[in-house]
Structure 1
Amino acid sequence: MTEQAETGRARRRPIVRPVMLALLLLAMTMPVYLLVVNSFKSQDDILGNPFSLPLGDLTLDHLADAVNSPQYNVIRSYGFTLFLVVVVDVLCILLAGPAAYAIARSTSRRAQSLLLYFLAGTFIPGAALVIPVIYVLRSVGLANTVAGLVAHDVASTLPVSIFLFVGFIRTIPASIDQAAMIDGAGRLRTFWTIIFPLMRPAVVTVLILNSIGIWNDFVSPQILLSPGSGRYTVTTAIYAGISQYSTDLTKVFPNLLLAVAPVVIFFVYMQRHIISGLTVGAVKG
């Protein structure tokens, strides 16, 4: 009886796994499918049959209108969002790299407590910090400024970045540091000229994760930069446009497609670097 039950379970396993994978694939691709096909339809087609392919009535007019819209132009917001991504990534690497190196090479309890302190920052919801951040930025004169938004984004990306860097640096033999010190290199020079080039997988992973997070962030730029500032990221531009044209789906779907397309393409192209960067520490050790 036991052997028959085990045989039945073994037969069900090959069936359950493909079914679960198919359902997961359907759940993940259906929103993307709806977004793409409805970006090329008229209002009546979207409301009447949102799942149909626009084979006969395919038009690029709605997408062109979204690109050339004088108000809340998503394409125009690409530049400001890309500026935020580059500045925050550079500052994050400059700050997280040396900090992670000092923590990884130290055996004191103070260094380990500092790592736990940074790690605790990953468990705090970003939305819960917005109000305290506003008061802090007001007290230092950076409220409603790009510099204040950059400072907030850098601080929010440091915990995960330091955690990943520490894990990777610990897989690099400390004898490399000792050899550099014998040659007369200081700790800072040792890190930037020897250790940092070896951290390429971890650095690429951090840059990708931070870039996607900043590109998709809505709460921080929406609250820390008021509409009166005239600065819109991709997400805030979409929100401003949709709030005005919420009933006109021929403007909603094309704008959403323009906002999502770059980050989806970027993630698909760079996903192998994310996986290798997250697993290389485990493999090396």
Structure 2
Amino acid sequence: MVVLETKPDDRPTTGPAHSADGKRGAGRKKPRSPVRWALLGVLFVVMIVPIYLLVVNAFKSQQDILDNPFSIPLGKLTFAHMSAAISSPQFNVIGGYGFTLFLVVVVDVLCILLAGPAAYVIARSLKRRTQLVLLYFLAGTFIPGAAVIIPVIYVLREVGLANTVTGLIAHDVASTLPVSIFLFVGFIRTIPVDIDHAATIDGAGRYRTFWTIVFPLMRPAVVTVLILNSIGIWNDFVSPQILLSPSSGHYTVTTAIYAGISQYSTDLTKVFPNLLLAVAPVVIFFIYMQRHIISGLTVGAVKG
């Protein structure tokens, strides 16, 4: 009978002590740089201070705002100024909600109807001229909107759409197409072409293939485009202010605020409440939908 002895040097080195050391080594995280924390702190302050001033001063009197805009006089805060801003017949930002929501819905629908098929053709084509079309659309993202507003006025005047809601909608749709097509193209390229081939074998045309098969798969990108376009249209001031004169009788949220501020330039008890009413919906909307924006922007970045 042979007895096999194990030498001390032959004992495995994966015992509890070594595994614990390995876990401790793996669990160590690289310390965060103080510069990074400092930059994040500065960015937080820069972003939170205007919001703080807007919220606090919307419930204060004129004298309290002028004396110390950063203070919070708990005993003097009142909702009277907010109620007056909501029910004011001269300047009611709530009245601009309806027209602005109308613009958001119409522009979003038209943008999806135009950008979707265009992006599908560009993403599925390998022709050089098609890629040039994509570059043409991308060029629109580098042109500031304020730089083309004057030529747009002349174009709308020539086609008879100056100072009309239709002209404003046409301008907003054209301004949202470049980014929308760019995002759609990047996402569609992650969808396998075999899906298109299978639909073709089943007798579906390209138009039906896109709307019934490819478009439902584009939900993250579509949601992202809708969110970005909606926030952009809601916050847009230059386009409605210039393309729609006061004689048109239509005011968006931003143009209504401008009209009210110019009328009540020294009455801060009317300025701050109306600004808060205009900003609150889009801030809440962005906070609630931000995860969809991030997922929609990143899902097409890496091809699966």
TM-score of the two chains, using structure 2 as the length reference: 0.89
2:162 corresponds to: 143
**Secondary structure in 2 aligned to 1:40?**
coil
CA distance in structure 2 between the aligned counterparts of 1:71 and 1:86, rounded to whole angstroms: 27
Please give the secondary structure, in 1, of the residue aligned with 2:195. helix
Match of 1:6 in 2: none
Query: Residue 54 of structure 1: CA displacement?
Result: 2.9
1:92 aligns with 2:114: no
**Aligned mate of 1:156, from 175, 178, 201:** 175
Query: Are 1:105 and 2:124 counterparts?
Result: yes
Aligned to 2:6: none
CA distance in 2: counterparts of 1:50 and 1:94, whole angstroms: 47
Taking the aligned partners of 1:164 and 1:69, their CA distance within structure 2 comes to 42
Partner Cα separation in structure 2 for residue 107 and residue 54 of structure 1: 65
Residue 20 (structure 1) shift = 1.8
Amino acid of the residue matched to residue 187 of structure 1?
Answer: R
Aligned to 1:60: 79
- Counterpart mapping for 1:73-84 below 5 A: 73-84=92-103
Q: What residue is the counterpart of 1:7 in the other structure?
A: none
Q: Which has the larger share of helix? A: 1
Q: Does 1:27 align with 2:27?
A: no
Aligned partner of 1:166 in structure 2 is: 185
Which residue of 254, 257, 264 maps to 2:276? 257
Decide whether the 8 Å contact of 2:110 with 2:173 is kept in 1.
yes
Q: Which amino acid aligns with 2:36?
A: R
User: In structure 2, what is the equivalent of residue 195 of structure 1?
Assistant: 214
The answer to whether the 8 Å contact 1:37/1:54 transfers is no
User: Which amino acid in 1 is paired with 2:247?
Assistant: G
1:208 equivalent to 2:227? Answer: yes
Residue pair 2:85, 2:91 contacting (<8 A) in 1 also:
no
Q: Which residue of the partner structure matches residue 5 of structure 1?
A: none
Identify the residue that residue 295 of structure 2 maps to in structure 1: 276
Report the Cα distance in structure 1 between the residues aligned to 2:125 and 2:174, rounded to whole angstroms: 23
Residue deviations 1:53-76 (CA, integer Å, cap 9, x gap): 131101000000100111231001
The yes-or-no answer on 1:41 pairing with 2:60 is yes
The number of aligned residues is: 275
Shift of 1:19: 2.0
Deviation at 1:283, TM superposition (A): 3.9
After TM superposition, the score normalised by the length of structure 1 is 0.95
1:262 deviation in Å?
0.3
Q: Partner of 2:26 in structure 1? A: none
2:254 corresponds to: 235
Aligned residues of 1:40 and 1:54 also touching (Cα < 8 A)? no
Query: 2:147 is matched with which residue?
Result: 128
2:244 aligned with 1:225, yes or no?
yes
Task: Structure 2 unaligned segments of length 5 or more: list them.
Answer: 1-29
Computing the radius of gyration from Cα coordinates, the structure with the larger value is: 2
Aligned residue in 1 for 2:27? none
Aligned partner of 1:180 among 199, 211, 229:
199
In 1, distance between residues paired with 2:126 and 2:34? 50
The alignment partner of 1:273 has SS state of helix
C-alpha distance after superposition, 1:139-190 (max 9, x if no partner): 1111100000000000000000000000000000000000000000000000
Q: Look up the SS of the partner of 2:300 in the other structure.
A: helix
Helix, strand or coil for the counterpart of 2:279? Answer: helix
Q: What secondary structure does 1:222 align onto?
A: helix
Cα distance in 2 between the residues matched to 1:199 and 1:89: 15
C-alpha displacement at 1:284, in angstroms? Answer: 4.2
| Alpha-carbon shift at residue 135 of structure 1 (Å) | 0.7
